Amino acid sequence: MIKRTLFFGTPAYLSTKNKQLVVSYPEESTPPKTVPIEDIGILVLEHQQITISNGLLAKLIQNKAAIISCDSYHLPISLLQPLVGHSEQTERIKHQLQASIPLQKNLWQQTISSKIENQASFMDKQGIPARKMYKWALEVKSGDTENHESRAAVYYWKHIFGIENFIRGQHGLAPNNLLNYGYAILRALTARALVSSGMLPSVGIFHHNKYNAFCLADDIMEPYRVFVDVLVYDIVKSNEPFEVLTTALKTSLLQLPVMDVLIDGNKSPLMVAMSRTTNSLYQCFSGISRKVLYPEFV
């Protein structure tokens, strides 16, 4: 089932009644609205004057919805996730923590190879020379010891948007603002899927920063980043202003969870595909499989 993404950018009071999310507005003339909680996959709380009841939070978490809070600059800063996301969580976490170093390196090799190949396919579709990218995708070694990811990234960001001297960076010039927002949503989607698959999003296969609570999410989202890039590319090429992250631009980026992607030979909404990826990751941790299912950009 495709879950809905709800974005709240104005003052509101969010509560629950009869398994429904109830949205009440400060203006008495505006009638309350309701949404079935079981239909919600992501809740984005942007405005600083949003009040949400604990009863609603509990029901959303029980439904495995990702709840994203934004700061006063309207950027995502936190993700609320359940303590228990799977009935076999203890067993699954044990397998995750016992993953051998060679297995982790092999999983990272698959991840980076898939990421670079997807970037190459996107470039190819836009008529941008991508022969080097396809070559690098095939040359990634266990653990990406030769850092093909970085090499590919330099080439990719230099060409993909057609913007002279564009540099990808957290605090760089637009459209970095769009990329930051899109990747934050993708990170939340990934963390949600990992928890639902019974794993800890903080224990990575490559990222191990002790200050990062989402190391595994940052690992597994890598091959999916290209789908954020697609949305940003379309915005840039539309010739509409994108220096300021407006509500309209955020709405465009929030289409990410329902984008169709190809995974294991079948089309699927990205949110569903992410769950297939995280389930396949657990199968690798448990010894059932050696291959992570990642989407292909076509």
Binding residues: 149, 207, 222
Q: List binding-site positions for Mn(2+).
A: 149, 207, 222
| Contacts of residue 54, Cβ cutoff 8 Å, sequence gap at least 6 | none
The three-point CA angle 73-185-14 to 5° equals 70
Residues paired with 34 in a beta bridge = 22
| Start-to-end CA span in the chain (Å) | 23
Residue 20 backbone phi and psi in degrees, to 5: -120, 145
DSSP letter, residue 210? T
What is the 3-class SS of 151-198, one letter each residue? HHHHHHHHHCCCCCCCCCCCCCCCCHHHHHHHHHHHHHHHHHHHHHCC
CA separation, residue 64 to residues 11, 40, 85 (Å): 24, 9, 7
The three-point CA angle 107-111-116 to 5° equals 150
**Cis omega (within 30 of 0) for bond into 201:** no
Return the beta strands (E) in 171-265 as ranges. Answer: 260-263
Instruction: Name the amino acid, one letter, at 124.
Output: D
SS3 56: helix
Backbone conformation region of residue 85, classed left if phi is above 0, alpha if psi is from -120 to 50, else beta: alpha
Quick one: 222 exposed, middle or buried, by C-beta within 10 A (0-12, 13-18, 19+)? buried
